[in-house]
Amino acid sequence: MSMSINTNSLSLNTQRHLTASSSQLSTAIERLSSGLRINSAKDDAAGLAISERMSSQIRGLNQAIRNANDGISLAQTAEGALAEVGNNLQRIRELGVQSSNATNTNSDRAALQAEVTELLNEIDRVANQTSFNGVTLIDGSFTGATFQVGANAGETITLSTITDMNVAALGEVSQAEGADLTIAASSLTSYGTAIAAGGVLINGTDIGAIAAASSSAERAGQLVNAINNVSQQTGVGASYDSATGDITLSSAAAIEVTGTTDDATIAGWANAAAIGTVATTSGIDGLSVENFASAQLAIQLADSALTTVNSTRASLGAVQNRFESVVANLQTSAENLSASRGRIRDADFAAETASLTRAQILQQAGTAMLAQANTAPQAVLSLLG
């Protein structure tokens, strides 16, 4: 190798290696201090892009977990209030049963009614004041809510409408008011002809054979007796009003008359039907236990209201279980995704420590060799000596 003082190739080579070892030392120190293998895009461009997408998903999953937990809290708040409404309804029903005791005096029932009134007021208070984060839940205004329970759009759970628990809306009992079917006995002009078995059916039940009669009034009596004989099966009773001459069939439900009789009037009466009207008593706000009849209705209304409360509680409980399942699944997903991101982005401390030590040694050696390389041109002076 030629000897030159203008170009010190040994020094330049040593400087290049020293720069490389300094860069390696800087990288190792950065990774060990941050705990990350990828601190900027230059470290691993593809790895950075993948890990950033994973970070976005992880943050979304963690927020979805918080959303689902809020859903659990909302459902628990509503369900807890419904439990108290149920307790009050149980007590109201108990008071209805107590009031139905014939040994109670009017003053006894008045005292029972006073407690019922207070319990109804408390149910209303609970219904109107139960809220979560300012949203009332069981007063009928809650028409459903949608919770984001995933990292991506569309991953939602919808909580359905919660039934109004105010006493004006709670409880519903349907009572049949009955049906009536009437014919005039005077129209039974074929009373002299016997009616064979199967000639008249009430609600599908044969009233039996009827012998010939001597008058329309006698035929009316025969029909009434025959119909009443099968009233247990049909639920239909019959009566004859001698003053008006009318035969009336009465039932708490529907009445259907069919048959094959040759009597023109009964044939016209046959294939007729009467449907009882149904009255619906809705709301327990006017509930009373001050007499036997109202106490009996109070028991029915309380049972109906309890059915509504229990059904709503069951729905809320099911939603809570669903939210809890969602939380468990989201936690597993976030855990696995975090582990995957860590394998891409986190620093391997064992490897980085080795790199640090290697870079430190190379830097120290390079510094020493640079000093030696810088003194090499001085050898030229010996030639000039």
Identify the CATH number of the domain in which residue 145 sits.
1.20.1330.10
Q: Which residues contact residue 165 at a Cβ distance below 8 angstroms, ignoring those fewer than 6 apart?
A: 81, 82, 85, 123, 126, 127, 138, 139, 140, 309, 312
Residue 372 forms part of a structural domain: no
- Amino acid identity at 78: A
Q: How many whole angstroms separate alpha carbon 268 and alpha carbon 381?
A: 146
The last residue of one of the domains, among 281, 313, 345, is 281
The last residue of one of the domains, among 260, 281, 302, is 281
Give CA separation, 65 vs 23, 53, 147, in Å: 42, 19, 11
Q: Output the pLDDT for position 2.
A: 61
186 and 155 part of one domain: no
Where in the sequence is the domain holding 204, given as residue range(s)?
173-281
Alpha-carbon Rg of the chain, whole angstroms?
A: 46
The pTM of this model reads 0.64
Residue 33 forms part of a structural domain: no
In tens digits, what is the pLDDT along the chain, a chain of 385 residues? 566 667 777 778 888 888 888 888 888 888 888 888 888 888 889 999 999 999 999 999 999 999 999 999 999 999 999 999 999 999 999 999 999 888 888 899 999 999 999 999 999 999 999 999 999 999 999 998 999 999 999 999 999 999 889 988 887 544 444 556 677 766 666 777 888 887 788 877 888 888 888 888 888 888 888 888 888 787 777 888 877 777 877 765 667 777 666 554 554 454 444 444 444 445 788 888 988 878 888 888 899 899 999 999 999 999 999 999 999 999 999 999 999 999 999 888 888 898 888 888 888 888 888 788 777 777 767 777 6
Alpha helices, H only, the chain: 9-34, 45-99, 106-129, 216-229, 231-234, 264-269, 292-345, 349-375, 381-384
Please report, for the domain that includes residue 186, its CATH number.
3.30.70.2120
Q: Output the pLDDT for position 179.
A: 56
CA angle at 204 for the pair 251 and 234, rounded to the nearest 5°: 35
DSSP secondary structure letter of residue 163: P
Give the total number of structural domains in the chain. Answer: 2
Q: Output the pLDDT for position 3.
A: 65
103 and 194 part of one domain: no
216 and 184 part of one domain: yes
CA angle at 191 for the pair 190 and 195, rounded to the nearest 5°: 90
The answer to whether 275 and 179 are in contact (CB under 8 A) is yes
Q: Output the pLDDT for position 237.
A: 78
